Amino acid sequence: MTDPWTHLAVGILLPPFFGALVAALFPDRRRNGAWLAAVVSSGLTFAASLGGLAYAVIEGPVRYHLGGWQPPMGIELVMDPLAAFFCAVVTGMTFFVFIHGRSVVERETPHKAVPFYSAALLLLGGLLGIVLTGDLFNLYVFLEISSLAGYALVAIGDRRAPVSAFRYLILGTIGASFYLLGVAFLFMETGSLNMNDVAEVVPVMGESPATLAGLVLIVLGIGLKMALFPMHGWLSDAYTYATSTATAIIAPIGTKVAAYVLIRTCFHMFDPEFVRAEIPLADILGYLGAAGIVWGSIMAIAQNDLKRMLAFSSVSQVGYIALGVGLASPYGLIGAVLHTLNHAVMKACLFLVNTNLHQRLGHTRIDRLDRTTRIRMPWTMAAFTVAAISMIGLPPTAGFFSKWYLVLGSWEQANYVFLGVIVISSLLNVVYFFRVLEKVYLRSDGEAYDDASEREDAGVRREEVRASMLFPTLFLGASLLVLGLANAYIVIHVIRPMIPAGL
């Protein structure tokens, strides 16, 4: 008799797929039903993920054989602390964005609401499948599900969206093909598609050029999905031209799941020593991450559109995760995993702020923001401020602590390049966030704030977005402070158990 709680592994996976089906059944005039299906199913899977995380941390990893078929023939779901943690991050962010999204979708793309929610749930289900599966080919299937849903979501946007979606599709397909090719190589060498089997066979077989090629191809394909520099070209357009809610769903979680696959492949399926020593794959990942951090930040400074700025900032933040993975050490992994969570929350919060601004102002151009923005939407801008401080990485917000662990990891290996990059990128972050903060909090025409501006300000009415949009924004903003203060707890109780023995 197996412990009934182990069914949580599949319990995480089912709600989004069922939800996607249910949502698609609603006719256009009852599109609120589709929204409800999205909220309920993402809420359920969020709850299941949290339960699964608690179970995996307390009781240890769960290996769940779908349909009772034994691997390597059957498909295995693996819910260990790492997987459950990523599930919780992904589902949590989606849940809050769904709550926030109803009136936004209603305003931006009212008659596409039903397919929108359905596709979004498919995306969520696909991503969760990638995280949970223990089978390399099954991962490819889920990768395609999530990618196809993602292309559809991106394409529901403004006039330029289909083109950027097409570009995303081409590059995404290339990435997936690389991945598939890599899996084929590994299958030929090891005779198994089960990750656990592969992990056991590879050390026995010894390295062979084919195994190496397989690993490199997988990392390359996933790197493309992750928007790892210099394979990030698709990201900025896709994020910019999609609808606000679509971006808010994809941006915080899409690249994170790719990062998860990277961690799985490099540290669980292969021996970390192998990844570090046999070929300098870890170093390459780390340095590409470092380059992405700097490049993304510089490009973010150059943008005039808030959404595009945030998109480039994502390129930079994904670089932190790659840098942590590239350190291939406990501190590096702690930094990378913690930053996944922190960045998901920060980015979700920032994109919700972006959506709120778009809702009220009708644009998100930075040069047209001024201090009336803050007077009209004080709470939204407060959330923005907290998220910006966290992005810069100032204590006691969450962003500081993931950087702290990365700094420790860099010192451990005496990698001064990484240290320098972390320091410089924080300063670049200061530039592009304070540029916005200056505009919305201060008088921007060079004159002193005087009686006239006070009268002007008094004439501006407060028009904060509705509570259903404001609450998720503020909740995410506030949780950045909580995550910052509670980071030691998360690291010790949740992330430490994830660290594979080889590190």
Partner 1 sequence: MPIAETYSSSIPFWALVVSLLATPFILWSSRRPNLREFWTLLAAVIKFALVLTLLPGVREGRVAEFVLLEIAEGIELSLRADAFGVFFAVIASGLWILTSFYSIGYMRGHHEKKQTRYFASFAVSLSATIGIAFSGNLLTFIIFYEMLTLATYPLVVHSENREAIRAGRQYLAYALTAGLLLVAGAGWIYQMTGTLDFTPGGVLEEGMLSASGMRVLFFMLLIGVAVKGGIMPLHSWLPAAMVAPTPVSALLHAVAVVKSGVFGVVRMVGFVFGPEVMGAYGLSTILAVFAGITIVLASLIALRQNNLKRRLAYSTVAHLSYIALGAALLNADGFTGGILHISTHATMKITLFFCAGAIIVHLHRENVTDLDGAGRAMPWTFTAFAIGAMGLTGLPPINGFLSKWFLCMGSLDAGAWAVLGVLLLSGLLNAAYLFPVVYRGFFCFSNQFEGKGEASPFMVVPLTITAVLSIVFCLFPNVLFGLFDLASAVADSVLGTH
> Given the rule CB under 8 A, which residues bind partner 1?
334, 389, 392, 394-396, 400-401, 403-405, 407-408, 410-412, 419, 422-423, 426-427, 430, 434, 438, 441-443, 446-451, 453-454, 485, 487-489, 491-492
Q: Considering the complex, state which of residue 422 and residue 476 has its C-beta at the smaller distance from partner 1.
A: 422
Q: Considering the complex, state which of residue 144 and residue 457 has its C-beta at the smaller distance from partner 1.
A: 457
Write out the H or E segment, with its range, that includes residue 62. strand 62-65
Q: Considering the complex, state which of residue 396 and residue 497 has its C-beta at the smaller distance from partner 1.
A: 396
- Residues 6+ positions from 293 with CB-CB distance below 8 Å: 316, 317, 319, 320, 323, 421, 422, 425
Token readout for 490 is 């998360």
d(CA 399, CA 343): 7
Closest C-alpha among 34, 40, 35, 10 to residue 22: 34
In angstroms, the first-to-last Cα distance of the chain is 35
**Least gap, CB of 58 to partner 1 (angstroms):** 20
Q: Considering the complex, state which of residue 85 and residue 401 has its C-beta at the smaller distance from partner 1.
A: 401
**Least gap, CB of 108 to partner 1 (angstroms):** 34
d(CA 360, CA 389): 24
Please state, as a whole number, how many other Cβ atoms lie within 10 Å of the Cβ of residue 369: 22
d(CA 456, CA 450): 10
Q: Considering the complex, state which of residue 311 and residue 421 has its C-beta at the smaller distance from partner 1.
A: 421
**Least gap, CB of 448 to partner 1 (angstroms):** 4
**Least gap, CB of 444 to partner 1 (angstroms):** 8
Q: Considering the complex, state which of residue 445 and residue 463 has its C-beta at the smaller distance from partner 1.
A: 445
**Least gap, CB of 432 to partner 1 (angstroms):** 13
Please check whether residue 35 is in contact with residue 113, taking contact to mean a CB–CB distance below 8 angstroms: yes
One-letter amino acid of 83: A
3-class DSSP state for residue 175? helix
**Least gap, CB of 282 to partner 1 (angstroms):** 19
Q: Considering the complex, state which of residue 447 and residue 463 has its C-beta at the smaller distance from partner 1.
A: 447
- Residues 6+ positions from 445 with CB-CB distance below 8 Å: none
| Phi, psi angle pair for 486, to nearest 5° | -95, 10
Closest C-alpha among 260, 434, 251 to residue 346: 251
d(CA 246, CA 223): 22
**Least gap, CB of 419 to partner 1 (angstroms):** 6
**Least gap, CB of 489 to partner 1 (angstroms):** 7
Q: Considering the complex, state which of residue 170 and residue 442 has its C-beta at the smaller distance from partner 1.
A: 442
* Residue 134, CA atoms < 13 Å, CB-side half-sphere: 27
